[in-house]
Structure 1
């Protein structure tokens, strides 16, 4: 007989994966994040927000943080007691750090790029960038659930398709 695992307060072991710094690697980061968060019972709302944040940060790592022959790293840290999910994407280009900017910076409204970090800022409760030794950087985004007890939702499989 299968029993649901008991809810354990405190940090859950992080999920970390190295991925190729390619468009395919960025796509895989998004898919892996969604799969991991669903398997850990993270709420649907938080998973959907995280999916968009991971997609943007992974795309930035590939477009702006790529060093030939180097991978980027995706890390997800779920902290149910704090009601927080932290998304971290590390790349090899510490010399190119993202800048926080206001939404009205004159980005061409018809441009297909230039809005990614504004999207991350809108979806995350906090984001920042820190050095990742020896020469890289890590962009971190914290996403808070509606309340600590709601970060991990119902673990039963969904019957709706």
Structure 2
């Protein structure tokens, strides 16, 4: 796993953090912890509902990268971008990139999985928590699954 961490000002009003993580359950857990810490470093309280929503989104997208996007010997990439605007709420964008481009997330089913089903709830969670989400090809190979949530305008204390 690469230990290089990047956190810097991108453009006025935008902050960015990225970290490569091992495609393991431990890597997925670390992605969630890093996201909560990064939001805290950017001024958002770790106890508010926005931070909890962001943590759940990161956990789900990272778990999917580990389970469905894993390529032996290749890390996944977590990227967090916080964009603050003068006109509206801040937007927190979560991107999880992996090396599998042939396994894209499908459309979210209108019918939730049954009580005994072990899989199929993750993208329902993403759909319900994210303001918007999607998937993009990643060049030269792979994909990036992303989700965005809006944080409250002018105050880091709530969504």
Q: Provide TM-score, normalisation by structure 1.
A: 0.83
Distance, in Å, in 1 between the alignment partners of 2:124 and 2:91 is 20
More strand by share: 2
Residues of 2 paired with 1:42 and 1:101: CA distance? Answer: 30
Per the alignment, residue 149 of structure 1 pairs with: 154
Partner of 1:33: 35
Deviation at 1:9, TM superposition (A): 6.1
Corresponding residue pairs, total: 143
Say which one has the larger Rg. Answer: 1
Q: What TM-score do you get using the length of structure 2 for normalisation?
A: 0.84
- Structure-1 residue corresponding to 2:50: 46
Which structure has more RCO (C-alpha within 8 Å, separation ≥ 6)? 1
**Unmatched 5+ residue regions in structure 2?**
1-10
SS in structure 2 at match of 1:149: coil
SS at match of 1:119: helix
Deviations 1:26-45 (A, max 9, x none): 01101111111111112522
Distance 1:113 1:30 in 2: 20
Gaps of 5+ in 1: 1-7, 155-161
Moved over 6 A (4+): none
